[in-house]
Each structure stands twice: as structure tokens, then as C-alpha cells.
Structure 1
Amino acid sequence: MDYVIKVLGTPAIIIAFIAFIGLLFQKATIAGIIKGTLLAFTGFVLIKTGGAILGGVLTMFSDIFTNAFGLRGVVPSNEAIMALTIDSLGRPSAFILFFAMIINVIIARYTRFKSIYLSLHLIVFMSFSVTAALVGLGYSELFAIIFGAVVIGAYMAVFPTILSRFSRTIIGNNDYCIAHAASSSYIIGSYLGKWFGNTNTNVEHVTVSDNFSFLKNPDVATFITMFCLLGLSSLFAESAYLAKVLDGKPYLVWLLEKSATFACGLYIAKKGVVMFTEEIVPAFKGFSKIVAPGSIPAVDPMVLFDKSPNAVLIGFLVSFLAELCCVAIFPFIGLPVIVPGIMASFITGGSAAIFGNATGGFRGAVIASFVNGLLLCILPALVLPLFSHLGVHSVTFADPDFTFLSAIIKYTFGLGH
């Protein structure tokens, strides 16, 4: 079952398969099928590779930040809690994933919700969180599988379709939409941007003095952002700890290299996105003609990052700031401290700002990303008791969609338990 989870939860495999089937249905040449399948697979692996580089630098930054400011608490990490509970939750979660995929396709074929969710690694995490919540409340594995498959399958079709109302404005068409575990945050942020923002102040059109024109280059801006964050945190870190991190390397060289590594990771991921979308979108049209006519692929939000680089940086910083506010406040209101998840702050905060900017300009971007940061802390803190039966301490599920659903389960199915 562990093997099934790994195969079905590997996005690059699913993407390559869909590209292959789509090109086959389009009666492409053998050379075209091989080229399109391999480029779609390679593009997604590039995204994963860039993401791993980003994650490495962000994890290091998180550790330095924790050491510098004495931050202790519960760490939101989907990968960590899944790895620790795979023996107890793996079997029902695999069944949920399998049946949810089928339900997603059925809904896309027969209803107006035409999205087919391709970020399947996130559905693996969601399957684990639903199973953990329901088993923790005393429900059987069979009930967890049935409930999880139906609800998550519907989620996979409905949420990207709702979000496409806003994503098509950013993308410029409806050839694809966004599938991510923070869709609820993006929808809320989009509406808040629409209600309280001002589209006349688009963050991508901010006027920059010629003296600072280098900031217009997204790779340079990314480098400088990480340079400042790492530099500031390392100044307050313990000297012995920092010496261990530097591993004999001169401080300035280390700081420059890590900042450049972060910028390179984002650059690689964005190049992978371009390669992936150029192949999967036309191939998916062939796939959808047979499987679910009129359906559209729902893909990772990193496809948007090259379209709104300023919003990504603003969203990351503002979302992170909101999480720090929660760290300061939670001990006084009886909630467990949720350690800011830096990777989640970057991906979901940046994406939330892109959506907020699309509907409300600079103000919308700030509002959307700040609310996203609050959700990244408040929701995990509220549902943390649900997962105590797992015997896993100091780690919990991260993304808003997982924790929103867990909260709904807690306050509905938990009433009689």
C-alpha cells in the first residue's frame, strides 16, 4: 500500500501519463508523443528540483530564526506527519486517494465543475488529515474512506473551478486553473481584495527609481530578499550554532551563496513550470475529449509566479509577518504556538498575494497574504487536539484546506463523540 501511495502521489508520473494519453488521443506522431511526454515529466521534475532547493534554504533559515529568537512550538509539516503516521493511516488514505480521483473525473464529466486536480501529492496529505481526524473521533476506517473519498473528490473538482473565476484573470485564459491546498485562502483573499482593495495600484506596475531599477529583475529581488532575511536572523543567532551552520566558510561568502541558491531554486522551478505548461495544456485537451469533455487541468500555483514576481515577494513577507504576530499573541489566549512554516509562507503567501493583487492591487495583495498568514497559524492551533491520538508531538498538518476540513469535521462529527 505504501508503494501505491508513492506512485499515485507522484505528480510527475501522473502528469507524464496524462500527457502520453492526451497525445495518443490526438494521434500525434511517435516522436511527438515521446517528446511531449518526456518534456512534461521533465518540467514537473524541474519544479520539484527547484522546490527542493527552495525548501533546503528555507528550512535552514527557519532553524536559524528559531535559534536566534528562541522560538519553540508546533511545526506544521505535511511531509513529516505523513512519514510518522504512514503505518497507521497509509491504507485508508490510499483508498481515499484512489476513489477521490475517480469521483473527481466523474464530477468533471457530468457537472459544470470541470476541473481535474493534478496536484495529487496534496491530496495524499489531505487524505491523511481526514483519516486522522475521523479515526481520532472514533469513526471506523470504512467510514473515513467513504467520507474522505466523496468529500475530497468533490473538493478536487469544485474548488479549482471556483478559484478559476479569479485565476483566469491572472492567466489571461481558462486553459488551466489552480489546484492547491490553500485554495480556500486564495478565494477569501480574492474577495477581500475585491471588497477592500484598489486595482489602480497593481504591485507589478509600481514605479521604481532608476537608482533601484535592479529590483525590477525578479531574480535579483529574490536574492536581496533572502539576503536580508538570512542576514538579519543570523546576526541574532548563537555564535556556536552559527559557526556550525557556516562549517568553516566565511560568513559573507556563506550569506551570498545561500541567497543565490535560493534565487536559483526559484529560477529552476519557474523554468520547469514553463516547460510543463507548454506540454500538458495541449496534451490535456486530447485527454479530456475522451475522459471528461470540456474539463480543464488544475495545476500548482507556481505556474503564476513568473507572472507576478513582485506579488510573490510581498506575499511571502506579509504572510510571514502575520505568523509572527500569532506567535506573539497565542500564548496569551491559550492557543499552542505554531512555528511559522517558511515554505508554506513562501508558496501560499506568494500565491495569495497574486490573487489579492488581481482583484485589489497592492492593498489587496497585502490583505490577502496577511489573512493567509493568520490561517496558517489559527487553523492548525484549533484542530491540533484532533491529532493527539496519533502520538506525534510537535508537528501537525499545515495547509488551510486540510485544517479547514479538519475543523469542520471536529465541530460537526465530533459533537456526539
Structure 2
Amino acid sequence: MDYIIKILGTPAIIVAFIALLGLTLQRSSLTDIIKGTLLAFIGFVLIKTGGSILGGVLTMFSDIFTNAFGLRGVVPSNEAIMALTIDTLGRPAAFILFFAMIINVLLARYTRFKSIYLSLHLIVFMAFSVTAALVGLGYSEQFAIIFGSLVIGTYMAVFPTILSRFSRKIIGHNDYCIAHAASSSYIIGSYLGKWFGDTSVNVEEVKVSGKFSFLKNPDVATFVTMFFLLGISSIFAEEAFLSNVLANKPYFVWLLEKSATFAGGLYIAKKGVVMFTEEIVPAFKGFSQVVAPGSVPAVDPMVLFDKSPNAVLVGFLVSFVAELCCVAIFPFIGLPIIIPGIMASFITGGSAAIFGNATGGFRGAVLASFVNGLLLCFLPALVLPLFNHLGVSAVTFADPDFTFLSAIIKYTFGLGH
């Protein structure tokens, strides 16, 4: 069962298969089929590789930040809680993933919700969170599979379609849309930008003094951002802890290298995105003509990062600040401290800012990413008791869509338990 989850939850494999099938159905030449399939696969692997590099630096930054400021609490990590619970939740989660994919395709074929969700690794995490929530409330595994399949399969078709109303403003067309575990945050952020923002001040067009014109280059701006964050945090870290992190490397050299590694990881991921979208979008047309006519591929929000690099950095920083605000106030309102998930702050915060900027300019970007940061803390804190039965401590599910659904389950299905 673990093997099935790994296969179905590997986006690069699914994407390569869709590209292969789509190009074959279009009767492309053997050369084009091989090239398109491999480039789609390579592109997605590059996204994952870049993401792993980003994750490594952000995890290190998170550890330094926690040590520097003495934070202790619950860490939101989908990968960690899945690894710890795979023996108990893996079987129903695999069934949910399988049936949810079928439901998604059927809805794309027969309804107006035409999105086919390709970020399947996120659906694996969602299947785990739904199963954990329902089992924690005393419901059977069979009920969890039926409920999870129906709800998640519907989510896979509906949410990217709703979000496409805003993503097409960013992308410029609707040949593909966005599938991510923070879609609820992006929808909220888009409306906040629309209602309270100001489109006359676009975050990508903010004037920068000539002295800081080098920041207009997104790779340089990314480097400077991580250099600043790592530098400030490491100043306050314990000497022995920092010495272990440095591993006998001169501090300034280490700071430069890690900042450059972070910028390089984002560069690799963005290049992978370009390669992936250039191949999967035309290949998907062949796939959709047979499986679900008129359907649209729903892909990871990193495809947007190269379109709004300033918004990504603004969103990351603002979302992170919002999470720090939660750390400060949660002890006073009786909620457990949720340690800021730096990778989630970067991906979801940056994406939220892109959507907020599209509907409300700079102000919309700030509003959207700040609310995103609040959701990253408040929702895990509210649903944490649901997962006590798992026997894992100091870790919980992270992304807003998982925790939103868990909260709905808690306050509806939990009423009689």
C-alpha cells in the first residue's frame, strides 16, 4: 500500500504519463512523443529539485530562528506527520486518493468544473488529514474512505475552477490553472484585494531608488532577502548551536553560500516550471479530448513565481510576520504555539501575494499574505486536538485546505461525539 501511495503521489510520474498519452492520442511523431514526455518529466523533477534545495535552506533557517528566539511548540509538517502515521492511515488514504482521482475526472467530463488536479502529492496529504480527523472522532475506516473520496474528489475539480477566475488575470489565459493546498487562502486573498486593495499600485511596478536598482533582478532580490533573514537570526542563536551549523566554515562565507543556494534553488524550480508548462499544456489537450473534453490541467502555483517575483518576496515576509504575531498572542488566548512553517510561508505566502496583487495591487498583496499567515497558525491550532489519537506529538498538518476541511469535520461530524 505504501508503494501504491508513492507511485500515485509522485506528480512527475503522473505528468509524464499524461504527456505520453496526450501526445500519442494526437498522433505525434515518435520523436515528439519521446521528447515531450521526457521534457515534461524533467521539468517536474527540476521543480521538485529546486523545491528540495529551498526546503533545505528554509529548514535550516527555521532551526536557527527557533534556537535564536527560544520558540517551542507544534511544527506543521505534512511530510513528517504522514511518515509517522503511514502504518495506521496509509491504507484508507491510498483508497481515497484512487477514488478521488476518478471522481475528479468524472466531474471534469460531465460538469462545468473542468479542472483536473495534477498536484497529487498534496491530495495524499489531504487524504491522510481527513482519515485522521474522522477516525479521531470515532468513525469507521470505511466511512472515512467514502466521505474522503467524495469530498476530496469534488474539491479537486471545484477549487481550481473557482480559483481560475483570478489565476487567468495573472497567467493571461485559461490553458492551465492552479492546484494547491492553500487554494482557500488564495480565494480569500483575491477577494480581500478586490474589496480593499488598490490596483493603481502594482507590487511589480513599485519604484526602487537608483541606489537599490540591483533589487529589480529577482535572483538578486531573493539572495538579499535570505541573506538578511539568516544574518539576523544567526546573530541571536546560541554560539554552540551556530558553530555546529557552520561546520567549521567561516561565518560570512557560510552566509553567502546559503543565501546563494536559496536563490539557486528558486532559479532551478522556475526553470523547471517553464520546461514543464511548455510541454504539458499542449500534450494535455490530446489527453482531455478523450478523457474529459474541455478539461484544464491544474498545476502547482510555482508556475506563477516568475510572473510576479516581487510579490513572492513580499508575501513570504508578510506571511512570516503574521505567523510571528500568532506566536506572540497564542499563549494569552489559550492556543498552542504553532512554530512558523518557513516553507509554507514562502510558497503559500508568495502565492497569496500574487493573487492579492492581481486584484488589489500592493495593498492587496500585503492583505492576502497577512491573512494567509494567520490561517497557517490559527487553523492548525484549532484542529490540533483532532489528531491527539495518532500518538504523535509536536507535529501536525500544515496547509489551509487540509486544516479548513479538518475544522469543518470537527464542528459538524464531531457534534455527536
TM over 0.5, shorter chain: yes
Which residue number corresponds to residue 234 of structure 2? 234
Normalised TM-score (structure 2): 1.00
1:37-87: CA deviation from partner (whole Å, max 9, x where unpaired)? 000000000000000000000000000000000000000000000000000
1:194-250: CA deviation from partner (whole Å, max 9, x where unpaired)? 000000000001111222110000000000000000000000000111111111100
Distance 1:18 1:213 in 2: 43
The one-letter code sitting in structure 1 at the alignment partner of 2:326 is: C
1:327-371: CA deviation from partner (whole Å, max 9, x where unpaired)? 000000000000000000000000000000000000000000000
Which residue number corresponds to residue 95 of structure 2? 95
Which residue number corresponds to residue 8 of structure 1? 8
Distance 2:207 2:340 in 1: 31
Distance 1:241 1:392 in 2: 26
The one-letter code sitting in structure 1 at the alignment partner of 2:245 is: V
Which residue number corresponds to residue 361 of structure 1? 361
SS of residue paired to 1:71: coil
SS of residue paired to 2:416: coil
Give 1:29-68 correspondences, 5 Å limit. Answer: 29-68=29-68
Which residue number corresponds to residue 411 of structure 2? 411
Distance 1:248 1:6 in 2: 38
Deviation (angstroms), 1:157 = 0.1
Give 1:12-411 correspondences, 5 Å limit. Answer: 12-411=12-411
Deviation (angstroms), 1:283 = 0.2
The one-letter code sitting in structure 1 at the alignment partner of 2:262 is: F
1:108-137: CA deviation from partner (whole Å, max 9, x where unpaired)? 000000000000000000000000000000
The one-letter code sitting in structure 1 at the alignment partner of 2:382 is: L
Deviation (angstroms), 1:381 = 0.1
Distance 2:286 2:211 in 1: 50
SS of residue paired to 2:116: strand
The one-letter code sitting in structure 2 at the alignment partner of 1:15 is: V
Q: Percent identity of the aligned residues?
A: 86
Distance 1:81 1:167 in 2: 31
1:13-45: CA deviation from partner (whole Å, max 9, x where unpaired)? 000000000000110000000000000000000
Distance 1:311 1:247 in 2: 34
Distance 2:211 2:57 in 1: 29
Distance 1:102 1:86 in 2: 23
Distance 1:279 1:226 in 2: 32
Distance 1:209 1:224 in 2: 16
SS of residue paired to 2:193: helix
Contiguous gaps of at least 5 residues in structure 1: none
Distance 1:239 1:151 in 2: 49
Contiguous gaps of at least 5 residues in structure 2: none
Distance 1:156 1:201 in 2: 33
The one-letter code sitting in structure 2 at the alignment partner of 1:109 is: R
Distance 1:210 1:411 in 2: 54
The one-letter code sitting in structure 2 at the alignment partner of 1:123 is: I
SS of residue paired to 1:413: helix
Distance 1:87 1:249 in 2: 40
Deviation (angstroms), 1:261 = 0.2
Distance 1:59 1:183 in 2: 23
SS of residue paired to 1:414: helix
Distance 2:206 2:407 in 1: 39
SS of residue paired to 2:414: coil
Distance 1:131 1:238 in 2: 40
The one-letter code sitting in structure 2 at the alignment partner of 1:254 is: W
The one-letter code sitting in structure 1 at the alignment partner of 2:22 is: G
Normalised TM-score (structure 1): 1.00
Distance 2:32 2:143 in 1: 45
Size of the alignment, in residue pairs?
417
Deviation (angstroms), 1:285 = 0.5
SS of residue paired to 1:323: helix
Distance 1:232 1:87 in 2: 41
Distance 2:339 2:104 in 1: 34
Distance 2:211 2:393 in 1: 50
SS of residue paired to 1:116: strand
